[in-house]
Amino acid sequence: MGGQGEHKALYVVTRQPSFAESFKGEVRQVPIGRSSLYLKTCLLTPGNAQALRSTFSNLKPAPLGVRASAGFGDRLGLATPGHVMAVRGTGIAPIFAQQSIREMNRTHRTPRQVLDDATWGAFQAGWLAEVGADADHIKTVEEADLCAEEGFSFYTVDPGANLDQDAKNAPQGYIRQKLHDLPWSELEINQLDAEKSYLGQVVHLPSVYFVIDRERLWRFMATYASALVQVKRMYRHIAEKLGEGNFDFEISVDETETPTSPSDHYLFAMELRRMGVRWTSLAPRFSGRFEKGVDYIGDLQMLAGELKQHAEISQQLRPYKISLHSGSDKFSIYPIAAQALGNLFHLKTAGTSYLEALRTVAQTNPELFRKIMIFSARRFATDRASYHVSAETSNLPMIPSLKDVDLAELLDNFDARQILHVTFGSVISSQEEVGGPNLGSLLRLELLEAESKYYRQLNAHFTRHLAPFVTGGPSAK
């Protein structure tokens, strides 16, 4: 890779031009003493990104299995070199290409663009180990297919819309009717056989003890049965397309109103196993609040106990990793999670790289950052609808009156961080009504000019995320 900003290119040097036929670009002969070499200058096109993945097999996404891993969401497609700097030498397997279809729609990107941006960034930074690529929070087989066609290797299935959260505390009459209406044929079991399989089972682990009685079993089935069917369908579809064992599969049940109990986790995993689903990681719902862009809000001692319980269940049954969703900026929980989970973890981050981009711009172009902050505050009431956040624009300082040197401090402000975090799509796609060129385009241009500074800030930020998992877990001692 060479060049700067928008003017980067891939340079292929060969003795025989036929060696680099898969790369498309302009070739010139360069005399070297009595011989010569061929220099091909290649634009950063999708075809050349594919050729790069074919030439360097480590850049082609591959399953990571149960190795300790972290996902680095990148909404602008510019952050991967900074992510490489932070993860290099940690032993943590990285997923540089990670984005949900919802985020792709908001940023006007395709799965191919997400993968290509990560490929170029990893190559630029000299990454030599394996990588994964996460089709994050997919809900339909059509979404899975979009990512499978581009070579994604990690599929995070979100069956949240199929969970009946009312059943957790509903009266018995509701549960009886729900059981009668369950899709038993799609569950591939009947009520009698389910009772024979589970009733009376005792689960006794160091931090977990429960007996599966009829009340516990049927309330679980009423809550999770349709979600189990959705997960099974998604898994079998992806397995038929890619082949079993050729992809990582994660299940996300974290977007619920109540925490995932140990018995629900156990029964969910047992039912998945019965239906032949092979998964790499599971994201339970923990107590407290994992809000976007800010630290954990809740009882750390209670969370530590829950992490330990879920870890013991996962180790007993497969093992598989416990995944921490909305995991960025949760600095208070990382040492606790490292102690409880050891190396059986996946840390999923997303919007925090965008926030570090804004921190960079606040320092290099305060006027642009001020426009983005004011625009985001106007958009927040609309954009917050699909996120669990508690920020309020009324808590912001008077942005127009802030001095330029004080603007970067907004990235340490609870309300400002969340407001900026959830309005990324509006900023990136903003049009002329903001009073000038597209804010997203201006943001990208500014970051390309200040990319070294952006990478350094990402390195420092993500080193804070990853360091406790490298030094704090029992398996690291």
The one catalytic residue among 136, 264, 291, 446: 136
Phi and psi at 343, nearest 5°, equal -95, 0
Contact 152, 133 (CB under 8 A): yes
DSSP letter (8 states) at residue 408: G
In angstroms, the CA 264 to CA 223 distance is: 9
Determine how many CB atoms are found less than 10 A away from the CB of residue 406: 12
Burial (Cβ within 10 Å: 0-12, 13-18, ≥19) of residue 28? exposed
Which run of H or E residues covers position 451? Answer: helix 451-471
| Residue 250 known to be catalytic | yes
Tell me if 355 sits within 8 A of 293, measured CB to CB.
yes
Q: Which residues contact 235 (CB under 8 A, 6 or more apart)?
A: 157, 249, 277, 278, 279
CA distance 403 to 431: 27
**Cα 148 from Cα 97, distance rounded (Å):** 13
Query: For residue 9, what are its two tokens?
Result: 């290119």
- Compute CA distances 5 → 107, 218, 356, 362, whole Å: 20, 58, 18, 19
Residue 186 is a catalytic residue: no
Q: Residue 412's CB: how many other CB atoms inside 10 A?
A: 9
How far is 225 from 184, CA to CA, in rounded Å? 9
Of 250, 312, 329, 383, which one is the catalytic site residue? 250
Give Cα separations from 369 to 157, 200, 394, 400, 420 (angstroms).
35, 60, 19, 11, 11
> Comparing C-alpha atoms, which of 66, 146, 71 is closest to residue 113?
146
Question: Are residues 83 and 337 in contact, defined by beta-carbon separation less than 8 angstroms?
Answer: no
CA-nearest of 45, 49, 75 to 61 is 49
For residue 434, the one-letter residue type is V
Residues annotated as part of the active site? 136, 250
